[in-house]
Chain A
């Protein structure tokens, strides 16, 4: 095995081009588990820890450019206002030790359907900045996942950053597991209200071969909110609408039975999480609207 230790981003890209089978390692929270258990014996490891810019982020006008290796701990501490859904999801990752090392870039690289950041990225809207010596591609996150633990990166590409839309409304994240720490999601759900475009976006985790959006549920809710004029009136969402939304979220999933839970349980739990998180975000939206009017 080779251990490649590029000191700069340019060196990393050159190394990946020269060793396309090299496995990038940042926090090691996935890669080292596979090596420790002999599930994987890559020809080379490509250590990204020495590249400081990967641990930085920039808050722009519309998006946050989040360096691929920014640890979850930093997201929780520093980006709660801009990326509330992702910060909530980050807080459910593993333990403090894991959050000190793990990153969204690693979550995307591993592309496990159970990765905690995926539902938040899907709901907020995000693009993956994939770079190689050939150039840069911006990949919408919903097109990034191609199968169980598979993504659309080419062999010479590395994830430089994720560009995540800054929240323009309330966001929520919910995850089912056996306890509050050290849990791989049985299933997870993220929702983001986007009052500027009067749309709602969703993300489902651990309940299909890849993380997915519940598009039919989004479309149904978008027109229901529009038709009833709820974005303007700030009235509560009628229970029948919330129920239908929850059923459509359930229906969007394509889960399996496994040690963590049955397919039927996952579908049921997703419906419950969808209804609850929609309620929480809508209440927050109404609260903001009221105080804005008072001011």
Chain B
């Protein structure tokens, strides 16, 4: 079947999608967006967390056809998504090519997709990234938390990230990163 949906602000189309395929498979294998990670395929680990019409979900548990005509934000589009949210303004979106060429270039200016979302910056600064496998899912989940709740308590953070497993960090640095991002956004106001 053909699937038409919006990914990171841009209309995308995929053909010959198998009816039992997951949204995660479409994103990784058909869109060439490997940011959302494929680990447990059963909603246990959260490493495939994306926003579906704004709602954080496990992309492995969304049937591809269920994303028809809906909006998906992945970690590749997070910087642009956060920028739009902070500055208002119209959606430029992140193209697949931009996303594929993406490299972190701290300090440099570039397109929105090349810059980092505040939560990404905070993860780096707090040392919350080790092997990096769980990071994309955690970034999407943490960004959504701060969107809803600009100054979350530690309990709020733990609850919001309870569906994301990390086997490297022991979580402390991740909690630090979310606190850091929240504190920076408060300073900015």
Q: Which residues 21-44 in B have Cβ within 8 Å of A in the complex?
A: 22, 41-44
A60, CB-defined interface residue at 8 Å? no
| Across-interface contacts of A180 in B (CB, < 8 A) | 162
Does B20 lie within 8 Å of A41, measured CB to CB? yes
A100, CB-defined interface residue at 8 Å? yes
Select B57's contact among A1, A100, A182, beta carbons within 8 Å.
A100
Does B56 lie within 8 Å of A100, measured CB to CB? yes
Does B55 lie within 8 Å of A100, measured CB to CB? yes
A-B contact pairs, 16 of them (CB 8 A): A3-B65, A25-B66, A28-B61, A28-B63, A32-B62, A33-B61, A35-B20, A35-B22, A37-B42, A47-B65, A47-B66, A49-B66, A98-B61, A98-B163, A101-B61, A182-B165
Q: A residues touching B (Cβ–Cβ < 8 Å)?
A: 1-3, 5, 25, 27-29, 31-33, 35-37, 41-42, 44-45, 47, 49, 94-98, 100-101, 180-182
Query: Shortest Cβ distance from A167 into chain B, in angstroms?
Result: 24
Select B43's contact among A29, A41, A45, beta carbons within 8 Å.
A29
Query: Shortest Cβ distance from A161 into chain B, in angstroms?
Result: 21
Query: Shortest Cβ distance from B97 into chain A, in angstroms?
Result: 29
| 4 tightest Cβ-Cβ pairs between the two chains A and B | A95-B163, A181-B162, A1-B19, A3-B19
Q: How far is the CA of A98 from the CA of B60 in the complex (A)?
A: 11
Does A5 lie within 8 Å of B41, measured CB to CB? no
Q: Smallest CB-CB separation from A182: which chain B residue?
A: B44
Q: How far is the CA of A2 from the CA of B18 in the complex (A)?
A: 9
Q: Smallest CB-CB separation from A99: which chain B residue?
A: B163
Does A95 lie within 8 Å of B162, measured CB to CB? yes
Does B56 lie within 8 Å of A37, measured CB to CB? no
Query: Shortest Cβ distance from B70 into chain A, in angstroms?
Result: 9
Contact with A along B148-160 (1 / 0, CB 8 A): 0000000000011
Q: Beyond the given A45-B19, A98-B43, A182-B165, could you list 9 further A-B residue pairs with CB under 8 A, ordered by the A residue number?
A: A5-B65, A32-B60, A32-B62, A33-B43, A35-B22, A44-B19, A47-B65, A94-B43, A100-B57
Q: A2-B19, A45-B63, A97-B141 are in contact. Are A36 and B162 (CB under 8 A)?
A: no
Query: Shortest Cβ distance from B1 into chain A, in angstroms?
Result: 6
Does B62 lie within 8 Å of A45, measured CB to CB? no
Query: Shortest Cβ distance from A231 into chain B, in angstroms?
Result: 37
Q: A36-B60, A45-B65 are in contact. Are A97 and B41 (CB under 8 A)?
A: no
| Across-interface contacts of A98 in B (CB, < 8 A) | 43, 58, 61, 163
Q: How far is the CA of A246 from the CA of B50 in the complex (A)?
A: 44
By CB atoms of chain B within 10 A, which of A3, A45, A47, A100 has the most? Answer: A3
Query: Shortest Cβ distance from A228 into chain B, in angstroms?
Result: 40
Q: B interface, how many residues as a size bin?
A: 20 to 34
Q: How far is the CA of A3 from the CA of B2 in the complex (A)?
A: 11
| Across-interface contacts of A28 in B (CB, < 8 A) | 61-63, 66
Q: How far is the CA of A100 from the CA of B60 in the complex (A)?
A: 14
B49, CB-defined interface residue at 8 Å? yes
Query: Shortest Cβ distance from B71 into chain A, in angstroms?
Result: 14
| Across-interface contacts of B55 in A (CB, < 8 A) | 100
| Across-interface contacts of B65 in A (CB, < 8 A) | 3, 5, 45, 47
Does A25 lie within 8 Å of B63, measured CB to CB? yes
Q: How far is the CA of A28 from the CA of B66 in the complex (A)?
A: 9
Q: How far is the CA of A97 from the CA of B58 in the complex (A)?
A: 6
Q: Smallest CB-CB separation from A41: which chain B residue?
A: B20
Q: How far is the CA of A47 from the CA of B63 in the complex (A)?
A: 9
Q: Smallest CB-CB separation from B50: which chain A residue?
A: A97
| Across-interface contacts of B43 in A (CB, < 8 A) | 29, 32-33, 94-95, 97-98
Q: How far is the CA of A291 from the CA of B60 in the complex (A)?
A: 50
Q: How far is the CA of A199 from the CA of B42 in the complex (A)?
A: 40
Query: Shortest Cβ distance from A138 into chain B, in angstroms?
Result: 29
Does B56 lie within 8 Å of A96, measured CB to CB? yes
Does A3 lie within 8 Å of B162, measured CB to CB? no
Q: How far is the CA of A217 from the CA of B74 in the complex (A)?
A: 51
Does A36 lie within 8 Å of B63, measured CB to CB? no
| Across-interface contacts of A42 in B (CB, < 8 A) | 20
Q: How far is the CA of A2 from the CA of B160 in the complex (A)?
A: 35
B68, CB-defined interface residue at 8 Å? yes
Q: How far is the CA of A101 from the CA of B135 in the complex (A)?
A: 22
| Across-interface contacts of B61 in A (CB, < 8 A) | 27-29, 32-33, 98, 101
Does A45 lie within 8 Å of B20, measured CB to CB? yes
B46, CB-defined interface residue at 8 Å? yes
Q: Smallest CB-CB separation from A98: which chain B residue?
A: B43
Does B63 lie within 8 Å of A32, measured CB to CB? yes
Q: Smallest CB-CB separation from B65: which chain A residue?
A: A3
